């Protein structure tokens, strides 16, 4: 029986170097206590923040110092927990760090309401007497922009205190899906038993034996059925929290509230959905090609992850993947390329799955640490692309930290997914240019098509689902498990018209953790569209376009997302980048169809 190893069995070189943050948990405790004391210091400025320019500078700088330290304390605890989500000690540290973060947010909650008592002219006068305040010009502009949706200092403190509570449904879901749920063991055609996990289920659904895929599919979703009402209650309350918080801030809808934070017009969301719907026949073409490649009368839901090549594809071990990825980044310049290579050698990445490890992948770290990437690498082309993707996030953070102060070191998800997908697109281009093996090339083309299918189409489907779920809640309609299933089933039928839609796929919404971060997923689709446009520029114009892109990465959150993307030569207020991405997808499908014939 194949099994997932215990963490102690994984070689250190394939684990991330969390000791570079705190050598021991005792060091973490000391850092925790130190920053907890400074949280109280921050509170002492309440009511005085804008008394004069010197005080304003002091309070903003103190707030940044506290938040920097809190973020590092929280990141360490979370990543230790993610190494083994069943570890009670690190669950406790994570809970304490989350409480500390909530306390810090509460302590700082007076700052923005007090800033909003200023006018732009009054702030500019303060800058004249305290030049260091100029650093905060865009931040203050953003704060003043949000004045209609900011409550009194007392209410802001209450909302900050409630952060732990309103986010609790996501924590419940994480524990349920990663620590408590145990998926069945299935037997493959060779008689080997394999336990289904959150991390390997997609790979199992790529296996060539159709009956095996069906067994995996049914066993996996039947396990979700066993917790159906729990997950529905969790998601319902997550949606309800989104709606109530939006109402508390005087927004008409939760979607408007979510998009107003990064200053992205709702029209961008609608343009994405409309443009994808106008091109849904390309996805239908992809589904029909899968049916033909599999030589079946009906395409079923357990067939959707099967590549057009008809098998699981060539193995790509991790060390080989790192070589491909680093080489692919050459168009971005030697400095970018070398920094990625050095990071891979410095244990940025926690590579392999182990017992209890958080599923999926992400890029973490803080302003004061190296990047950290969680993966569950599966020795395949898809995992190689995920590595490239997460390295894009990490390098975005690194280049931003090089050029921006802490206040602008973060960046909105709307632009974050551009950096990750640029790396993916460059990897595709590199592999098609340098790898001669026809089978490998065919799988690269298939990977590109699958990435567009799963990112541009699937994430837009998800975006429609959560928009409608929030709309139903706002209309006072009950979000029951049956209603959520029906909603998801209808969307799946629209997007995958040539395939058979069964009752189990209606439960797929239950396995999507991103739904607990409302109106997040659409940015994967807009990000892919922007990234393909940027890569087109880089390949056409070379160093000039690459420099524009690197400047974009260095800006962090120094401008609003749409303005940042214009630095890189892309206008996401229009449908043009989305249409370009969909045209490229259609062309690649035609190319694949010719190869398969």
Strand bridging mode 372-374 / 349-350: parallel
Q: Do residues 384 and 319 make contact, with C-beta atoms less than 8 angstroms apart?
A: no
H runs (alpha helix) in 136-265: 137-145, 153-161, 163-166, 168-175, 201-204, 210-225, 228-248, 254-260
Region of residue 215 (left: phi > 0; alpha: psi -120 to 50; beta: else): alpha
Closest residue by Cα to residue 102 from 61, 143, 73, 145: 73
- For the annotated catalytic residues, the residue numbers are 390
Distance CA(217)–CA(336), nearest Å, equals 41
Task: Work out the angle between the directed axes of helices 413-434 and 522-541 (0-180°, nearest 10).
Answer: 50
Closest residue by Cα to residue 124 from 104, 113, 140, 147: 140
What is the CB-side half-sphere exposure of residue 401 using CA atoms within 13 A?
A: 14
Q: Do residues 367 and 391 make contact, with C-beta atoms less than 8 angstroms apart?
A: no
Region of residue 542 (left: phi > 0; alpha: psi -120 to 50; beta: else): left
Going by the DSSP 8-state scheme, the letter that residue 51 receives in this structure is S
* Strand partners for 363: 373
């Amino acid at each position: 029986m194949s099994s997932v190893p215990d963490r102690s069995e994984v070689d250190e070189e394939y684990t991330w170097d969390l000791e570079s943050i705190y050598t021991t948990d005792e060091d973490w405790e000391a850092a925790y206590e130190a920053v907890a004391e400074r949280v109280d210091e921050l509170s002492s400025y309440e009511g005085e923040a804008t008394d004069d320019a010197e005080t304003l500078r002091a309070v903003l700088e103190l707030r940044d110092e506290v938040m920097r330290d809190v973020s590092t304390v929280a990141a360490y605890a979370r990543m230790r927990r993610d190494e083994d989500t069943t570890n009670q000690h690190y669950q406790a540290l994570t809970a304490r760090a989350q409480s500390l973060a909530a306390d810090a947010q509460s302590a700082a909650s007076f700052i923005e309401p007090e800033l909003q008592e200023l006018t732009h002219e009054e702030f500019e006068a303060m800058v004249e007497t305290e030049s260091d305040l100029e650093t905060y010009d865009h931040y203050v502009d953003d704060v003043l922009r949000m004045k209609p949706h900011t409550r009194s200092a007392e209410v802001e403190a209450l909302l900050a205190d409630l952060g732990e509570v309103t986010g609790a449904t996501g924590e419940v879901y994480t524990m349920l899906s990663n620590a408590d749920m145990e998926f069945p063991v299935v037997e493959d055609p060779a008689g080997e038993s394999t336990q289904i996990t959150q991390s390997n289920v997609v790979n199992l659904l790529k296996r060539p034996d159709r009956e095996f895929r069906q067994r995996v599919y049914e066993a996996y979703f039947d396990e979700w059925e066993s917790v159906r009402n729990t997950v529905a209650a969790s998601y319902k309350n997550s949606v309800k929290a989104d709606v109530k918080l939006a109402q508390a801030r005087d927004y008409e809808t939760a979607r408007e509230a979510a998009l107003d934070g990064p200053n992205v017009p709702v029209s961008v969301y609608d343009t994405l959905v409309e443009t994808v719907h106008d091109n849904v026949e390309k996805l239908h073409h992809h589904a029909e090609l899968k049916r033909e490649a599999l030589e079946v009368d009906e395409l079923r839901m357990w067939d959707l992850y099967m590549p057009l090549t008809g098998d699981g594809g060539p193995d790509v071990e991790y060390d080989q993947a790192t070589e491909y990825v680093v080489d692919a980044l050459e168009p971005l310049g030697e400095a970018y390329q070398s920094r990625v290579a050095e990071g891979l050698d410095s244990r940025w990445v926690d590579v392999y799955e182990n017992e209890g490890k958080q599923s999926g992948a992400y890029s973490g770290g803080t302003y004061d640490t190296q990047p950290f990437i969680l993966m569950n690498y599966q020795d395949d082309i898809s995992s190689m692309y995920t590595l490239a993707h997460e390295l894009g996030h990490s390098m975005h953070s690194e280049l931003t930290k090089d050029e921006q102060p802490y206040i602008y070191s973060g960046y909105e998800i709307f632009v974050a997914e551009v950096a990750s997908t640029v790396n993916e697109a460059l990897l595709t281009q590199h592999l098609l240019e340098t790898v001669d093996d026809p089978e490998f090339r065919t799988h690269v083309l298939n990977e590109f098509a699958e990435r567009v299918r799963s990112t541009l189409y699937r994430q837009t489907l998800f975006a429609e689902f959560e928009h409608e779920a929030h709309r139903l809640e706002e209309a006072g309609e009950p979000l029951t498990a049956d209603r959520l299933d029906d909603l998801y089933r209808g969307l799946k039928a629209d997007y995958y018209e040539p395939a058979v839609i069964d009752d189990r796929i209606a439960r797929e919404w239950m396995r999507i953790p991103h739904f607990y971060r409302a109106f997040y997923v659409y940015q994967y689709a807009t990000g892919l569209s922007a990234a393909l446009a940027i890569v087109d520029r880089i390949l056409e114009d070379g160093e000039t376009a690459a420099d524009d892109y690197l400047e974009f990465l260095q800006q962090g959150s120094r401008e609003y997302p749409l303005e940042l993307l214009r630095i890189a030569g892309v206008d996401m207020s229009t449908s043009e980048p989305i249409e370009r991405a969909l045209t490229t997808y259609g062309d690649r499908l035609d190319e694949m169809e010719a190869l398969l014939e």
